[in-house]
Amino acid sequence: MSALRFAAIGLNHDHIYGQVNVMLRAGAELVAFHAVEDDLAKIFAERFPQAKRVADKREILEDSSIALIVSAAISSERAGLAIEAMRHGKDVMLDKPGMVTLDQLADVKKVQAETRRIVSILYSEHFETASTVKAGELVKAGAIGKVIHTTGLGPHRLRKPTRPEWFFDRKRYGGIIADIASHQCEQFLFFADSLEAEVLSATVSNRANPETPGLQDYGDFHVRTPDVTGYVRVDWFTPDGLSTWGDGRLFIVGTEGTIELRKYIDVAGRPGTDHLFLTDRKGMQHIDCSGVELPYGRQLAADIRDRTETAMGQEHCFKAMELALKAQALAEATSLNSIQR
């Protein structure tokens, strides 16, 4: 069986490297890429010399041997690219956020339904984080009983001097909840095992960056399904003294136990990443998840081949973005301080 051939269009966020590596680990072949920015193209070509740079993205879109397009374009441009790729018969893997407005989401859903192509958003804080994958296995096995609540925390380091101009433009990056917290929305739906969810309250603000008024540096919201409640907090306030970009956490409360994930660092504790703490009726234990397989890439490759939905259900993929976009809209409608939109 020949390897799945794929290409990259849009290199504007460094997540593109994770997206490409996911598929390379699954045995796929990266054959081409397109970027209008020479500086981004130079770095990408050095990392992946096997890929041909093309001047016109149509060369990729019209190549029938290429099955998958991966993209980390400017956030506001991802939906349009996904639609273009689907109409050329390609499946698509987007960086999050896949869309920055509910109208974009509706357009992508419409074309996906018409073409029956796959639109996958690589929610890396789940699919590329071994502790989250392991937590999913434990919850499915009944380790903590029935899930009743999740708390997802997504702090990030701002690194303002390194960010491109579009990063501070609300219309282009989508707002902090739509951007960062789409990760937590996907995880909430996954652990709640439901696609029926609503946002109860939400806020966003710019607390410490008045010189970039389009930036939202803090956001939080409450969400629920008929059986599970959730809280999410995201921000750009990771202190410089932390040895990684953010102390991402996930807390899952069940009727018979709890799980805490310290995804990227155990502050003043164990070295390394992917720490899982399980507490149940038998006691407390730390589980090292570093050896857990990350199945998303091989599952997506199989889905492209077999036209299945094993990596992530299509409705689930879209629902996570819908939840994030609705929380973003509610936050901007109700937040006390003025946010440049």
pLDDT in tens, 261-292: 999 999 989 999 999 999 999 999 999 998 99
What pLDDT, on a 0 to 100 scale, did the predictor assign at position 4? 98
- Six token digits for residue 255: 């009727």
What pLDDT, on a 0 to 100 scale, did the predictor assign at position 335? 77
The arithmetic mean of pLDDT across residues 206-228, rounded, is 97
The arithmetic mean of pLDDT across residues 211-219, rounded, is 97
Q: Does 53 have pLDDT greater than 50?
A: yes
What dihedral do alpha carbons 129, 135, 136, 140 form, nearest 10°?
Answer: 170
The arithmetic mean of pLDDT across residues 254-258, rounded, is 98
Q: Return d(Cα 42, Cα 35) in angstroms, integer.
A: 10
What pLDDT, on a 0 to 100 scale, did the predictor assign at position 337? 52
The arithmetic mean of pLDDT across residues 160-171, rounded, is 97
pLDDT in tens, 99-115: 999 999 999 999 999 99
- Omega cis (within 30) before 271: no
Least-confidence region, from 77-81, 129-133, 150-154, 334-338: 334-338
- DSSP one-letter string for 56-101: STHHHHT-TT--EEEE---GGGHHHHHHHHHHTT-EEEEPSPS-SS
Domains parsed from the chain with CATH numbers = 5-121 (3.40.50.720), 125-294+328-332 (3.30.360.10)
The arithmetic mean of pLDDT across residues 225-244, rounded, is 97
What pLDDT, on a 0 to 100 scale, did the predictor assign at position 125? 98
Q: Is the dihedral of CA 116, 122, 125, 128 positive or negative?
A: positive
Q: Return d(Cα 300, Cα 86) in angstroms, integer.
A: 16
Quick one: pLDDT band at residue 341, thresholds 50, 70, 90? Answer: very low
pLDDT in tens, 63-79: 999 999 999 999 999 99
**Averaged pLDDT of the chain:** 96
What pLDDT, on a 0 to 100 scale, did the predictor assign at position 2? 85
- H or E element that contains 32: strand 29-34
Quick one: pLDDT band at residue 213, thresholds 50, 70, 90? Answer: very high
- H or E element that contains 30: strand 29-34
Quick one: pLDDT band at residue 338, thresholds 50, 70, 90? Answer: very low
Q: Does 199 have pLDDT greater than 70?
A: yes
The arithmetic mean of pLDDT across residues 204-209, rounded, is 97
What pLDDT, on a 0 to 100 scale, did the predictor assign at position 336? 56
What pLDDT, on a 0 to 100 scale, did the predictor assign at position 290? 85
- Six token digits for residue 70: 């991966």
What pTM, to 2 d.p., does this model score? 0.96
pLDDT in tens, 296-314: 999 999 999 999 999 999 9
What pLDDT, on a 0 to 100 scale, did the predictor assign at position 333? 95
What pLDDT, on a 0 to 100 scale, did the predictor assign at position 62? 98
- DSSP one-letter string for 134-201: HHHHHHHTTTTSSEEEEEEEEE----GGGS-GGGG-HHHH--HHHHTTHHHHHHHHHHHT-S--EEEE
Q: In sequence order, what are the residues at sequence separation of 6 or more whose Cβ sits closer than 8 angstroms to the Cβ of residue 163?
A: none
CA geometry: angle 93, 94, 98, nearest 5 deg: 135
Q: Return d(Cα 205, Cα 108) in angstroms, integer.
A: 29
